[in-house]
Structure 1
């Protein structure tokens, strides 16, 4: 009986281990980075739908919003929320253009903080972040994805972000999910759907 119990416990532990994330080996990291960097170099534009989940510890259910995102190299970016409200943020020419249900405003993005935020967002979308000196990066593999975990080095970013997790489906070089973890433990998870790489995007898509 004891033997059977021991076998069951061993199997359960083994299943638990394999269900969790595992650190990638040096050779796996090298192959993964090469795949992603090759893909990133070829991305001239990207359109995708997204669903965003905001997790707050004091709420029993995550806050869900959705919309569309458009990116055009080198640094044009438009996040457009469509449900449950209309809200868009455009990064263009060192400025951030905000349209909050018709109420428009502009923020100068030349500050170091906005530069870092813009770089973080663009890098997250394209997956081109592995040479960034602002983060320590560790690499993991799960059942159906590779995960790059970025930990900020600077106090400025640490104030707002504890960790950024980028999820890449196995054998793909573009990001499928981004998880932004705050110092409090609350986090935002963004899931990309219906991605179109190098589809034609007019500059008018970045007018707010």
Structure 2
């Protein structure tokens, strides 16, 4: 290939790359929190498996558990732990039911426990694409593109802020992939979510 032809080819390839990058940048610029919330709101139900690790200051290694998550819009969210022992947390509307081992289930009304309500709403609000619910309890920071986005939630409720420093929720498209709770005392919980399936 002659030198002039080589230069023309190089310029053509460079222009193609520039065009591609501008296209990607334009698409990313159009992607904002309202678009994410709209995408999430379209998912009316879903199931997933999870692996959760709790990092506690006085322990040498994290406590690990795993199980299943399920969600049905607008207000039903269940976390069923299968390992290392069976536990279940069911959120249905304003009622939270906690079942552990052979003990009698514990039932709470969220309106009586504002701090608990704010924490569970961080997950339910994200799953249902309810931006208003999130912003009621948190200052919300959004970043990323459709293939990899992240929400950082900073508590504005004083009762929650005494316990939780921040919550980070990451995902791809309409799927939540990671959840991270950081407590004010330095402890944290990290959850990896996978195998999401729509019934």
How many Å separate the matches in 2 of 1:59 and 1:29? 43
Q: Give unmatched runs, 5+ long, in structure 2.
A: 1-24
Q: Give unmatched runs, 5+ long, in structure 1.
A: 1-24, 200-208
Higher relative contact order (CA 8 A, sep 6+): 1
SS at match of 1:193: strand
SS at match of 2:60: coil
Residues 174, 80 of structure 1: alpha-carbon distance in 2 compared, 3 angstrom cutoff: same
Aligned pair count reads 170
Q: CA deviation at 1:84?
A: 0.5
Normalization by structure 1: what TM-score? 0.72
Q: CA RMSD in A?
A: 2.5
Q: Which has the larger radius of gyration?
A: 2
CA contact (8 A) 1:46 1:70 kept: yes
Residues 136, 93 of structure 1: alpha-carbon distance in 2 compared, 3 angstrom cutoff: closer
Partner of 1:69: 69
Partner of 2:164: 161
CA contact (8 A) 1:127 1:175 kept: no
CA contact (8 A) 2:77 2:91 kept: yes
How many Å separate the matches in 2 of 1:150 and 1:30? 22
- Verify: 1:116 aligned to 2:92, yes or no: no
Q: CA deviation at 1:154?
A: 1.7
> What are the within-5 Å matches in structure 2 for residues 18-167 of structure 1?
28=28, 31-109=31-109, 110-111=111-112, 112-126=114-128, 128-129=130-131, 132-141=135-144, 145-167=148-170
